[in-house]
Amino acid sequence: MDIKSIIVLLILVLISGCKSSDQNKGKVLYSDTFDATLNNWIIEQMEGGEVNIADGRMNVSQSNGAIVWFKEKLHVSITIDMI
């Protein structure tokens, strides 16, 4: 599974079950600078892979399956921006 597939899976998981709310429209609910730890994330992966932080980015190196979950449950419609 490549990084693009993992990101798409993460987005789908975050979006599923969210309810619409105009009060949070345009508001940043959460952000992560990936400068120190992965404490905001739950990592599930097979042996032989690695998930780490380098240069302000989360790097997922896994050839046989990994899922990265955001710890906070989101209860609103969301847009995910990746820079």
What are the structure tokens assigned to 2, written together?
A: 């490549």
Structure tokens, 3: 């990084």
For 11, the token pair is 């987005």
pTM of the model: 0.58
Interval 10-68: pLDDT, tens: 665 555 545 555 666 677 778 888 888 898 899 888 888 888 888 888 888 888 878 88
d(CA 36, CA 49): 20
Q: Are 7 and 82 in contact (CB under 8 A)?
A: yes
Q: If you ran DSSP here, which 8-state letter would residue 19 be given?
A: B
Question: Where do the domains of the chain lie?
Answer: 3-70
User: Alpha-carbon Rg of the chain, whole angstroms?
Assistant: 14
